[in-house]
Amino acid sequence: MDTEFYRMKRLPPYVIAEVNAMRHAARRAGRDIIDLGMGNPDQPPPAHVIEKLCEVAAKPDAHGYSQSKGIPGLRRAQANYYGRRFGVDLDPETEVVVTMGSKEGLASLATAITAPGDVVLAPNPSYPIHTFGFIIAGATIRSVPTTPDEHYFRSLEKAMYFTVPRPSVLVVNYPSNPTAEVVDLAFYERLVAWAKENKVWILSDLAYSELYFDGNPTPSIMQVKGAKDVAVEFTSMSKTYSMAGWRMGFAVGNRNLIAAMSRVKSYLDYGAFTPIQAAACAALNGPQDIVETNRQLYHKRRDVMVEAFGRAGWDIPPPRASMFAWAPLPPALREMGSLEFSKQLLTHADVAVAPGVGYGEEGEGYVRIAMVENEQRLRQAARNVKRYFASLGINAAAGTG
């Protein structure tokens, strides 16, 4: 029987899985690994949200199939969030859909709107679903940079001019995973105008909407007048409310895209477990203290990490948003490459990070550090790294050999 499955041939082994496997093995061997690899929040959701989950789960009638596009109250809660946070009006019936995490939403939309041979513009480096959601759907990826500057817009122009067939979709993700780059509203205004002129759909991933550190709230593409003509935007409860395992996210915006996605989802799923949806309503409608608490938590960790790793001889540009730092390899170890460097850090410093090359070829030369351990552990990680650098004869202050 043929086991050369079409899609499997297009899904390379997950590079990051190699480091994960080493981390598992090291832990099984009893080593205390400081895990800054995966963006998995270490905090729980607020108590009132967990209480709502339990309360609704105790009801005998809460265990049947739910609604694929989300219960109406939750779609209203998300529309209200966009109203109060961004001043954007959304119709909960036609412009909002609940997803089982934004990852599922991106994959379902990719299935709904792309066909084999379509070309999708996606950032490189990028969070894997931004490319593989479309590759699974049979589309072809043309990479564009992540840095939102003039060169970015020139790359878009070139892509439209030179690619046959013309690209039909552009994926954007700011604050970026993995690079933590941010944009302002003027960037989105220019992007929406470009998309209209070029007849390209924009898929904006706003998973880190609330994790910003410099006092400037992250904008939404939906704030641009007319954005709904060309764009949908994904948000997630995973990081904002520390609910990663709950699998709760949303897509909002263009009603044709929302309808297409809802249709695909109606064939694939029955929606998230109703008690989870009810508890998600409680999170969005209830006290928002956790949002500020999480923002401060990651902000503080960011400062500790940059300072402690800096003292260890590793200069890491402070991320302005997200829960990640995008750290260039120390100059003396650049030649090693990001995968080998990550393995060495794990082996010799008991610190797990994600190799940049796992996010695309343009990610080579970097590692992604997730701020998902407490300040004391971050300081410990920096001390371990310093010891490792010293064992190689690297001058900590200069980062040179």
Using CB under 6 A, list all residues that contact ligand PLP.
39, 101-103, 127, 173, 177, 205, 207, 236, 238, 244, 249
> In 10-100, where does DSSP find H-type helix?
15-28, 47-57, 72-86
Yes or no: say if 222 and 86 are a contact pair by the CB < 8 Å rule.
Answer: yes
Q: By C-alpha distance, which of 123, 218, 216, 138 is closest to 177?
A: 123
Say which residues have a Cβ less than 8 Å from residue 319's Cβ, sequence separation at least 6: 175, 180, 213, 302, 325, 326
Nearer to ligand PLP, 249 or 358 (CB): 249
Residue type at 115 in one-letter notation: A
Nearer to ligand PLP, 208 or 341 (CB): 208
Q: How far is the CB of 375 from ligand PLP (least distance, A)?
A: 22
Nearer to ligand PLP, 35 or 205 (CB): 205
> Phi-psi category of 321—alpha, beta or left, where left has phi over 0 and alpha has psi -120 to 50?
beta
Nearer to ligand PLP, 114 or 236 (CB): 236
Q: How far is the CB of 30 from ligand PLP (least distance, A)?
A: 29
98 forms beta bridges with: 250
Look at residue 63 and give its three-state secondary structure. coil
Q: How far is the CB of 118 from ligand PLP (least distance, A)?
A: 21
Dihedral of the alpha carbons of 160, 162, 167, 173, in degrees to the nearest 10: -70
Q: How far is the CB of 94 from ligand PLP (least distance, A)?
A: 22
Nearer to ligand PLP, 160 or 171 (CB): 171
Nearer to ligand PLP, 113 or 382 (CB): 113
Q: How far is the CB of 333 from ligand PLP (least distance, A)?
A: 26
Q: Which two tokens stand for residue 373?
A: 């351990």
Q: How far is the CB of 247 from ligand PLP (least distance, A)?
A: 7
Nearer to ligand PLP, 244 or 332 (CB): 244
Full strand arrangement of the beta sheet holding 201-205? 96-99, 249-253, 231-236, 201-205, 169-172, 119-123, 140-144
Q: How far is the CB of 384 from ligand PLP (least distance, A)?
A: 25
Residue of closest CB approach to ligand PLP: 101
Interior angle at CA 208, CA 207 and CA 214, nearest 5 = 165
